[in-house]
Amino acid sequence: MSTTTEVIAHHWAFAVFLIVAIGLCCAMLAGAWFLGGKARGRYTNTPFESGAPAVGTTHLRMSAKFYLVAMFFVIFDVEALYLYAWSTAIRESGWIGFVEATIFILVLLAGLVYLVRIRALDWAPAPRRVVVKPTTISHSNRHTQ
């Protein structure tokens, strides 16, 4: 047998899989185009939410704190996934793996403590500082009997 025939014989299942997958995707797209709704009306392309028409604009300015909290969540969530994967292989990693995971957790805790100390996770606006002037009490008006 030639090398080309051997390669084709060896990878025929993958080629069949690709052809079937591409064919299935094309069939689904064609079916949606033929069977999909063709209604065009006045309010067809307008946003509609919770049974009420949209009021106002959708271009809102979001606070940067929203994005910070979202990034912190993603970072700490991905780190939790790493720890989950480590926990499934704890017996194979031994004490060295345990020490490495402990260092990893301590670095994460240090980052979380830093974020709390700089108040990066506070959603509420900063409280207003009201300056209270101390009043002096005069003791010269004593009642004498």
Give 111-137 pLDDT, tens digit per residue: 888 888 887 777 666 666 566 666 666
Give 70-102 pLDDT, tens digit per residue: 878 887 888 888 888 888 888 888 899 889 989
Mean pLDDT across 103-113: 88
pLDDT value at residue 28: 96
Strand partners, 52: 49
Residues 65 and 122: their CA atoms lie apart, in Å, by 8
Is the Cβ–Cβ distance between 69 and 123 less than 8 Å? yes
Locus of tokens 């990878």: 11
The predicted model scores a pTM of: 0.42
Give 20-30 pLDDT, tens digit per residue: 999 999 999 99
